[in-house]
Amino acid sequence: MFACANRSSILMKPNVILIILDTMRRDRLSAYGHDRETSPAFDGLAGEGTRYTRAIAPAQWTIPAHGSLFTGLMPSDHHVTQSNSRLSANVPTLAERLQTAGYHTLSFCNNPLVGVVNHGLQRGFDEFYNYASAVPHRPGDARKPWLRREFSQRFRPTARKLGNLFAQSDTLFRLALNPTIVPIWTRYINFKGHTANSISDFIEYWDAYQAGGAEKPVFAFLNLMGAHTPYVPPQDALDHIAPELRRDKRAFEFVRRFNADAAAWESPPEPPLTDWQQQALLDFYDAEIFAQDQELARLFAHLKAAGAMENTTVIVAADHGESHGDHDLFGHGFGVHQELTHVPMVIAGERFGRGADNDQNISTRWLYQTILDLADAEQRADEAPFAAYSLASQTDEQPITSEAFAVNTFLNVLEHRNPSVIERMALREMRRCVVEGDYKLMLRGDQPVALYNIALDPAETRNLIKTEPARAAELQRAAGLVALDAEAGETAEQDEKVLEHLRVLGYID
Ligand SMILES: [Zn+2]
């Protein structure tokens, strides 16, 4: 009797699908005013749910941003800020909490920094599928012919160890960025995963799970890497976005070289990009977004046709954005400018207004409390109350912060490529910002350095810190921004170990 009641209350809980569009700039989506039609599926979902116009990422790159999504904490609190960081066993993850709340937890992950690197963020998933690896792990693996299955099973642990080693060792990471080998490994290790395969597998899994009786509600996390470098969109997407590019050999050649120079993906461009170069990158980036959006369209159409949207909340957000030469930066290694921290987000589900806009400043790390609230999870005494941060309820306006710990692996690359830029742009120093109302204050270390009115000046071109010092001081006070210790990594020691291995193997002198 009790078992029955328990089962029916679990079944009433909504399924939750969390889709993270890696490296997705908000201003390149048509839903946020881009003049090209890059994102019809995303826009369609916004029409059925709530579009967040001021969603702010707590970090500027993948690992700390996912750390915050999965713990609800700021990077300086969860400490997963570098490739070799590890989440404390005392901090529960979203997936672990959802398991406890009766959910079947799944991941279809295309970013190796989330799915392959060993930082504890995979904890709590009943099944974790990886598409970015020399040996992807897919749900259909059991149906492969015997020889391929054997090979995958034997080689996958080695591929995983190698992936970890490259991501966590500054030296190996830097060696891997040699332009002659970048095109080989990006392809060989499926660096961007395989969006279409991950969506097809998820659809197939979903159908089979529902047909099998769906014992528990589902929490599915998908990370899609279409918008990440390198930019290699299919020709039909490029034709849709920028048909004039077909005859533009110069643009193709520039993007081909850029794609091969992986160190440039995260380096301030020197000399600065010319207008046509920046436009070429944006054209290819937009085409990648459109190609990925077509895969989202396929997923949403399937969920609708299967009647799944009735009891499912779908969340689509970016982990962070991307600089394409904005503010003299490229990639997402450094800084908290809007192109990195102001991200797209839509939530469609029973407790969210249809076709509504939410114009409050909110943090994407609140998705943690939001999803636990939807899942009717038990509130722990030692954590922030779900009700105060759940986007399924009314939240109060409050200051929102982002933290950009400089990425050690990228700093190491720059030390060898262009060391003067590190000092000139003070790239080692942590950047933080706080957004309150229309204003955003930026700090370098503990020093306030810029104040912007991001409603009037979304590109952050007019620094108001000298003209409005009182407002800057007020923002700093409101956010309680105090000095933070930079993380002390273990990279040096680890590097020595790796180098010793390589010496023994004869790869280096
Ligand atoms: Zn990312």
Ordered domains of the chain (ranges, CATH): 10-430+484-505 (3.40.720.10)
Give the Å distance between the CA of 65 and the centre of ligand 1.
7
Give the Å distance between the CA of 62 and the centre of ligand 1.
3
Give the Å distance between the CA of 110 and the centre of ligand 1.
10
Give the Å distance between the CA of 448 and the centre of ligand 1.
26
Whether 386 contacts 374, CB under 8 Å: no
Give the Å distance between the CA of 294 and the centre of ligand 1.
20
3 state DSSP class of 180:
coil
Give the Å distance between the CA of 265 and the centre of ligand 1.
13
Torsion angle, alpha carbons of 412, 413, 415, 418, to 10: -160
Give the Å distance between the CA of 407 and the centre of ligand 1.
12
Give the Å distance between the CA of 54 and the centre of ligand 1.
19
pTM for this model (two decimals)? 0.89
Give the Å distance between the CA of 28 and the centre of ligand 1.
16
Q: pLDDT (tens digit, 0 to 9) for every residue of the chain, 509 residues total?
A: 344 445 566 668 999 999 999 999 999 999 999 999 999 999 999 999 999 999 999 999 999 999 999 999 999 999 999 988 999 999 999 999 999 999 999 999 999 889 888 899 999 999 999 998 777 888 977 676 666 666 667 666 766 676 666 666 666 666 676 776 677 666 667 889 999 999 999 999 999 999 999 899 999 999 999 999 999 999 999 999 999 998 999 999 999 999 988 888 888 888 888 999 999 999 999 999 999 999 999 999 999 999 999 999 999 999 999 999 899 888 999 999 999 999 999 999 999 999 999 999 999 999 999 999 999 999 999 888 898 999 999 888 899 999 999 999 889 888 888 889 999 999 999 999 999 999 999 999 889 999 999 999 999 999 999 999 999 999 988 777 654 444 433 333 444 544 454 444 433 44
Q: Residue 394 carries which side chain, given as an amino acid letter?
A: Q
pLDDT at 152: 66
C-alpha span between 417 and 413 (Å, rounded): 6
Give the Å distance between the CA of 181 and the centre of ligand 1.
22
C-alpha span between 52 and 39 (Å, rounded): 16
Give the Å distance between the CA of 488 and the centre of ligand 1.
22
Task: Outline where 26-177 has alpha helix (H).
Answer: 40-48, 62-71, 75-78, 94-100, 112-115, 146-168, 170-176
Kindly give, in sequence order, each residue whose CB lies less than 8 Å from that of residue 315, ignoring residues fewer than 6 positions away: 16, 17, 18, 19, 345, 346, 347, 349, 367, 370, 371
Give the Å distance between the CA of 482 and the centre of ligand 1.
27
Q: E strand or H helix at 215, and its extent?
A: none
Give the Å distance between the CA of 508 and the centre of ligand 1.
32
Give the Å distance between the CA of 432 and the centre of ligand 1.
18
Give the Å distance between the CA of 2 and the centre of ligand 1.
44
Give the Å distance between the CA of 212 and the centre of ligand 1.
34
Give the Å distance between the CA of 403 and the centre of ligand 1.
15
Q: What share of the chain is helix, strand, coil (3-state, %, to 5)?
A: 45, 15, 40
pLDDT at 449: 95
Helix 491-505 crosses helix 146-168 at what angle (to 10 degrees)? 130
